[in-house]
Amino acid sequence: MESTSDSLNWWQHGVIYQIYPRSFQDSNGDGVGDLPGILSRLDYLQSLGVNAVWLSPIYPSPMADFGYDICDYENIDPVFGALGDFDRLVQELHRRALKLILDFVPNHTSDRHPWFQESRRSTGSQRRNWYIWRPPGPGGGPPNNWLSEFGGPAWTLDPQTGQYYYHAYLPQQPDLNWREPEVQDAMHGVMRFWLDRGVDGFRVDAIHMLVEDEQLRDNPLNLAWEPGMSPARSLVRVHSSDQPETHHLVAGMRKVLDSYAARVLIGEAYLPISRLMMYYGDGLGGFHLPFNFHLLSTPWNATAIAALAREYEAALPTGAWPNWVLGNHDRSRLINRIGGPAQARLAAMLLLTLRGTPTLYYGDELGMHDVVIPSESIRDPWEKNIPGLGLGRDPCRTPMQWSAEQYAGFSSASPWLPLSDDCETVNVTTESSDPHSLLNLYRALLRLRRDEPALAIGEYREHSVGPRVLSYERIASGRRVLVALNFGAEPCSLPVLPGVNLSVLVSTDPRGPFASTASEKLHLRATEGIIARIV
Ligand code: GLC
């Protein structure tokens, strides 16, 4: 049977919008975004045309890693508001037919979490086994050679018991021991707490780091490592990441989720395509959407992108639903990675026309770029620990640019991270009133995606690939749509299938469509992308 939007789940035909809550909208003048701030911007999300909002962590946290170090899984950090604000947010989003996805961080807690406090008290503590403790290695140092993602060893000696604990990230983020059934139960309880409050799903943090080799074998050296790369990459994480036991633990999370109707489970795993596919799980009982981050690192040209789409489509298990990501709070802004505003317009078209659920990072729809952070304003622990290599993530986490007012309409006080110096022109208000802005291109593409089932759910068929041009069709219920993207700096033309007429629906070119509809060739301007109905 052919799928229609109605027979698919909301997370298949919908578009996800990621909000980094510290940076979206401040309501109380402390320079940090909060839940009432997000509530006050729901009209914007509706006018943009996205379907679901994913919030990076909002739980009580000492903020060593800005919310990814949680000391209470079942509450809201006062900087963001209170549970009442959260309940209002759920209600208001749902009233507008928008969904809410929360970040779920199962790999580690904060070192201030009462579980860890109890665990560290003594080797006989009731919760000792909730974390990963080991006596010093034979030479008296850490138990093995594993490295923390954020610099230094992945083991910290706790003087209280003379043992080391493991942390894949900061020492303030001790790893939970998921081999301990009590940990699994406790974390399933956390999921239920939020599902009962009405959340529509989770984005599960750092899932490939959940389980470690039971024998804690040393990781081998990475022979491809060079100075300038993250020190953590000097080892290959053979024994500390992507362990086979992870999959049944994901299936356990999925079971909890499936005891509620119409929820989604998304996994964060930076892995090669073949490994990533395993995270759909046996019988598709794992993640609905293991995040596909490959567009973040693929060279930005037609041949490489076409090859990626081909490889990814071919590797999908039967029945698995694809997804695409072009930006997030851990990576350089899209516009910096791919080379400027015209390419950002092509990227918008690509993200919203490839087959699968797109995730859009706040501000990318405006063309926000990485902001240079003066050293006194650096907040990210990664940059503080390993300065100067460009690892820091502050540049892509700067405040949302709402207007040309003071502090870009984000706050009445100086924001926690500096604003971009282009916020007087690159902002929601200015771009909303310019019909040719990137924001209005996003709106047009999102509208078209909503109205045209071929784009939302249709099959993907590669049409032609040249060194500069990629074109493909999306097909559903007899409706055919052609997408043609010219990544090059020169105009070009493509042969059109004989006997078809094209009716161009959207062009990325601010001057509007140029392509003629009935000729034998489709002409594209330099860095122009078009979507055309095939009739
Ligand atoms: C994930 C998050 C990142 C965080 C890390 C540790 O990769 O996206 O922001 O620092 O996990 O929780």
470 phi-psi bin (left φ>0, alpha ψ -120 to 50, beta other)? beta
Q: What is the sign, positive or negative, of the torsion defined by CA atoms of 58, 60, 62, 65?
A: negative
**DSSP letter (8 states) at residue 235:** B
- Over residues 383-440, the pLDDT tens digits come to 999 999 999 999 999 999 999 999 999 999 999 999 999 999 999 999 999 999 999 9
Please tell me the distance from the alpha carbon of residue 369 to that of residue 347, in angstroms, as a whole number: 14
205 CB within 6 A, ligand 1 = yes
Instruction: Please list the alpha-helical segments (H only) found in 61-108.
Output: 83-95
**247-274 as b/e, with b when 16 or more CB fall inside 10 Å?**
bebbebbbebbeeeeebbbbbbbbbeee
pLDDT at 520: 73
Q: Ligand 1 centroid vs 227 CA: distance in angstroms?
A: 23
pLDDT at 513: 77
Please tell me the distance from the alpha carbon of residue 188 to that of residue 255, in angstroms, as a whole number: 10
Whole-angstrom distance between the N-terminal and C-terminal Cα of the chain? 24
- Any idea which residue has 């579980």 for tokens? 115
With a threshold of 0.95, does the pTM exceed it? yes
Catalytic residues: 205, 268
- Over residues 116-153, the pLDDT tens digits come to 999 999 999 999 999 999 999 998 999 999 999 999 99
Mean pLDDT of 512-527: 76
At 529, which helix (H) or strand (E)? strand 529-534
pLDDT at 521: 84
Ligand 1: which atom is nearest the Cα of residue 169? 6
Q: Using pLDDT thresholds of 50, 70 and 90, give the confidence band for residue 211.
A: very high
Cβ atoms of 439 and 432 within 8 Å: the answer is yes
330 CB within 6 A, ligand 1 = yes
DSSP lists the bridge partners of residue 460 as 474
pLDDT at 2: 52
Strand positions, DSSP E, 180-230: 201-204
Amino acid at 157: L
Q: Which residue has a Cα nearest atom 11 of ligand 1? A: 206
pLDDT at 4: 65
Q: Which residue has a Cα nearest atom 3 of ligand 1? A: 330
* Phi, psi angles (nearest 5°) of residue 72: -155, 115
pLDDT at 1: 42
Question: Which residues, other chains included, contact 39 with Cβ-Cβ below 8 Å and sequence gap of 6+?
Answer: 27, 85, 88, 89, 92
Candidates 515, 508, 521; CA nearest to 350 is 508
Instruction: Choose the weakest-confidence range: 108-112, 445-449, 514-518.
Output: 514-518
- Over residues 263-293, the pLDDT tens digits come to 999 999 999 999 999 999 999 999 999 999 9
Please tell me the distance from the alpha carbon of residue 528 to that of residue 484, in angstroms, as a whole number: 8
pLDDT at 518: 52
